[in-house]
């Protein structure tokens, strides 16, 4: 009872502090580009710049071959990979904590922007929706923090044309054994232990660890074995991303997968799917869907 009372008393004060800070931040700068001029993307995975350079987050564009690499820090790279893997730390770390704070105060992170490049530094911004306010609150942010938080909260991600063009100059390499998401499907390599535990066949393929959007609506579920994309077997999670990227812009990606003893086929648009929260505050359940790796 005392804890509940303290929450009722302190929540308005904390929310007021956040909004006051947000207002000050919002005055610091405006979006460099109107939202309508930006392109919506989805987080695919984390890689490195060059052979052994700093980490980059790889953002997949809709319906095309381009991937946008954005420099991030090691901590943010870990946070993004944790979210993609469905790894919930026993105690919340920085990005999980901030998502929990927003969720507890009923403040929704709706959009994340990577909207400018200044002095060789990418700039980002959070867009918050607050009950009782007609206009969204925008807060200046490092793209790395904003993108990690977007995965936790299920916010959409938008990139400015200038950022897109500048990022094309960044050479990157994917992490072959990493976890990769595209088309609302998250895949990883399948170990012998997991194959046995899930009763998967001996066919080559990748383990589907999480599903959302159209793929989920069509019946694909975590624990499926992805057998082929456009009639080619994905040799690695990065191979899955490459096969999706190779899908012609005016065609749908053709997927074949094994699930519960049967082989299914699925056609998916290469547009960016509606994101789903991957943090503790996911609606409807205390447990997040998917397989924890």
pLDDT tens-digit series, residues 142-167: 999 999 999 888 999 999 999 999 99
- The correct answer on CATH 2.30.42.60 for the domain covering 180-268 is yes
**What gap in Å lies between CA 257 and CA 259, rounded to an integer?**
7
**What gap in Å lies between CA 222 and CA 62, rounded to an integer?**
23
DSSP state of 252: P
| pLDDT at res. 292 | 53
The CATH number given to 2-174 is 3.10.690.10
Least Cα distance to 66 among 272, 268, 233 occurs for 272
| pLDDT at res. 159 | 97
Contacts of 92 (CB under 8 A, 6+ apart): 100, 280
250: burial class by Cβ within 10 Å (0-12, 13-18, 19+)? exposed
- The answer to whether 238 and 174 have CB atoms below 8 angstroms apart is yes
Query: Which residues of the chain are under the pLDDT cut of 50?
Result: 1-11, 13-14, 17, 20, 22-27, 281-287
- Pairing mode of beta strands 253-259, 262-268: antiparallel
- Pairing mode of beta strands 156-159, 253-259: unpaired
- The answer to whether 152 and 82 have CB atoms below 8 angstroms apart is no
| pLDDT at res. 282 | 45
| pLDDT at res. 284 | 41
Number of residues that this document lists for the chain:
293
Considering the chain, tell me which residue range(s) the CATH 3.10.690.10 domain(s) occupy: 2-174
- The answer to whether 73 and 49 have CB atoms below 8 angstroms apart is no
- The answer to whether 140 and 123 have CB atoms below 8 angstroms apart is yes
Contacts of 256 (CB under 8 A, 6+ apart): 226, 227, 228, 231, 263, 264, 265, 266
| pLDDT at res. 18 | 52
**What gap in Å lies between CA 137 and CA 126, rounded to an integer?**
8
| pLDDT at res. 47 | 93
Considering the chain, tell me which residue range(s) the CATH 2.30.42.60 domain(s) occupy: 180-268
SS3 238: helix
Question: pLDDT (tens digit, 9 = 90+) per residue, 104-148?
Answer: 888 889 999 999 999 989 999 999 999 888 899 999 999 999 999
| pLDDT at res. 290 | 59
| pLDDT at res. 214 | 93
- The answer to whether 226 and 215 have CB atoms below 8 angstroms apart is no
Locus of tokens 């200038």: 162
């Amino acid at each position: 009872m005392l804890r509940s009372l303290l929450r009722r008393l302190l929540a308005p004060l904390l929310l007021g502090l956040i909004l006051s800070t947000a207002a000050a931040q919002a005055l610091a700068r405006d979006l460099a580009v109107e939202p309508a001029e930006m392109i919506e993307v989805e987080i695919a995975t984390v890689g490195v710049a060059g052979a052994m350079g700093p980490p980059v987050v790889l953002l997949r564009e809709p319906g095309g071959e381009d991937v946008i690499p954005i420099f991030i820090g090691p901590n943010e790279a870990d946070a993004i990979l944790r979210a993609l893997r469905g790894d919930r730390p026993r105690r919340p770390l920085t990005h999980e904590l901030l998502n929990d704070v927003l969720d507890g105060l009923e403040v929704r992170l709706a959009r994340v922007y990577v909207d400018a490049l200044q002095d060789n530094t990418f700039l980002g911004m959070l867009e918050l929706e607050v009950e009782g306010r007609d206009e969204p609150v925008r807060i200046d942010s490092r793209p790395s923090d904003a993108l990690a938080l977007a995965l936790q909260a299920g916010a959409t991600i938008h990139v400015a044309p200038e950022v897109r063009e500048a990022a094309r100059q960044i050479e990157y390499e994917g992490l072959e054994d990493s976890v990769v998401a595209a088309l609302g499907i998250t895949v990883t390599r399948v170990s012998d232990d997991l194959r046995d535990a899930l009763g998967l066949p001996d066919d080559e393929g990748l383990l589907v660890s999480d599903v959302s959007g159209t793929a989920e609506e069509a019946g694909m579920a975590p624990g499926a074995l992805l057998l082929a994309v456009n009639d080619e077997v994905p040799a690695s999670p990065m191979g899955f991303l490459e096969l999706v990227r190779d899908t012609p812009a005016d065609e749908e990606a053709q997927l074949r997968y094994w699930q519960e003893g049967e082989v299914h086929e699925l056609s998916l648009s290469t547009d960016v799917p509606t994101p789903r929260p991957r943090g503790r505050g996911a609606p409807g359940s205390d447990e997040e869907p998917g397989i924890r790796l």
